[in-house]
């Protein structure tokens, strides 16, 4: 068992297009496992091999579990070690055993490690640009998921999957996701964005689409000593004839504080 695990870890380190050794080394994973006191049995699909297999599965064109297990078998071929079964059940069970807090911890540490490697030449005017966006994701149709993230009301009961709305903030320089929040499907993008503001640092620039362009949010970002670049929301009426010109492509305009404050 030890030889097979060692072979697999070495093969994953050397895989082209999968920079696990630099971005998610085995010692980093083991460090988090020890911090969280994750207990696991010594088997082929230990947390490190399972996590690397899962990531390679997600990045591959063929995202099937069968293809992921076939890659493991190919890595072990001609290594004078026992070849595992092509049955995917062991891998799928090992993947389901990965603790959520382990993934969250590695998610944050990897993003932070990448940010620390960014030099001034990859910044905009020596400032970090953070992009914010939202999307929806479906998940397995279980009772727990349906209760926490109900399917759309437009779908017939029992015919749809639980769907959640996620908000993500990622670095424009590295492309890595830095923070993520999740809520029910009908959650407005601004509500998700306001949960992500806590992860901003002074002097950051937040880049987003028109969904995030609101007076209260721009004021909030200014109070955090951050700037924002958003497209103008389609409901905001503004005359381009008003305002002070600053060159061919810049104009200073005044937004008046709305009478009603946002609910959250």
Per-domain residue ranges for the chain?
2-103, 118-252
More confident residue, 43 or 131: 131
Long-range CB contacts (within 8 A, 24+) of 23-30: 23/110, 23/113, 23/114, 24/51, 24/52, 24/55, 24/106, 24/110, 28/106, 28/109, 29/106
Q: Give per-residue pLDDT as tens, 113-165.
A: 888 888 888 899 999 999 999 889 888 888 888 889 888 877 777 777 889 99
Q: Is the pLDDT of residue 259 over 70?
A: yes
User: Pick the residue with more confidence: 155 or 178?
Assistant: 178
Tell me, what's the pLDDT at 189? 85
93 or 81, which is more confident: 93
The pLDDT of 102-108, averaged and rounded, is 88
Q: What percent of the chain has pLDDT over 90?
A: 22
Pick from 207, 210, 208, 205: nearest CA to 238: 210
Q: How confident is the model at residue 206 (pLDDT cuts 50, 70, 90)?
A: very high
pLDDT in tens, 8-22: 667 666 664 455 667
Query: Residue 1 above 60 pLDDT?
Result: no
Q: Which residue would you say has higher pLDDT here, 243 or 181? A: 181
Helix axes 215-223, 189-196, angle to 10 degrees: 0
Average pLDDT over every residue of 180-187: 90
* 168 DSSP assignment: E
Q: Per-residue pLDDT for 241 more than 80? A: no
Q: Is 213 a residue whose pLDDT tops 90?
A: no
Per the document, the length of the chain is 264
Indicate if the pLDDT at residue 44 is higher than 90: no
Q: Is a pLDDT exceeding 60 seen at residue 54? A: yes
Between residues 18 and 42, the one the model is more confident about: 42
The stretch 43-49 carries a mean pLDDT of 84
Average pLDDT value over all residues in the chain: 84
Residues 6 or more apart whose CB falls under 8 angstroms from that of 62 comprise none
User: How far is Cα 41 from Cα 188, in angstroms, rounded to an integer?
Assistant: 43
Q: Which of 35-49, 173-187, 241-255 has the highest mean pLDDT?
A: 173-187
- For 152, phi then psi, to 5°, come to -60, 140
- The CATH-assigned architecture of domain 118-252 is 2-Layer Sandwich (3.30)
Nearest to 172 by CA among 123, 231, 107: 123
What is the C-alpha to C-alpha distance for residues 131 and 238, in angstroms, rounded to an integer? 25
Q: Which two three-digit tokens encode residue 19?
A: 């920079």
């Amino acid at each position: 068992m030890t030889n097979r695990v060692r072979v697999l870890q070495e093969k994953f380190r050397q895989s082209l297009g999968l920079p696990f050794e630099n971005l998610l080394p085995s010692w980093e994973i083991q460090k988090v496992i020890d911090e969280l006191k994750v207990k696991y049995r010594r088997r082929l699909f230990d947390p490190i091999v399972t996590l690397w297999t899962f990531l390679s599965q997600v990045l591959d064109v063929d995202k099937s579990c069968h293809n992921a297990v076939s890659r493991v078998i190919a890595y072990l071929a001609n290594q004078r070690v026992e070849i595992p079964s092509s049955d995917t059940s062991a891998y799928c069970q090992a993947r389901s055993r990965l603790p959520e807090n382990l993934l969250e911890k590695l998610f944050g540490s990897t993003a932070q490690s990448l940010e620390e490697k960014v030099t001034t030449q990859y910044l905009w005017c020596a400032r970090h640009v953070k992009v914010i966006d939202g999307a929806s994701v479906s998940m397995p149709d279980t009772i727990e998921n349906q209760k926490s993230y109900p399917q759309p009301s437009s779908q017939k009961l029992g015919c749809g999957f639980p769907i959640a709305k996620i908000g993500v903030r990622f670095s424009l320089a590295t492309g890595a996701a830095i923070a993520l929040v999740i809520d029910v499907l009908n959650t407005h993008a601004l509500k998700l964005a306001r949960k992500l503001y806590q992860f901003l640092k002074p002097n950051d620039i937040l880049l987003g689409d028109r969904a995030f362009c609101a007076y209260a949010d721009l004021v909030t970002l200014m109070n955090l000593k951050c700037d924002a670049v958003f497209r103008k929301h389609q409901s905001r009426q503004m005359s381009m004839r008003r305002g002070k010109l600053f060159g061919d492509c810049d104009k200073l305009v005044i937004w008046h504080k709305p009478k009603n404050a946002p609910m959250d």
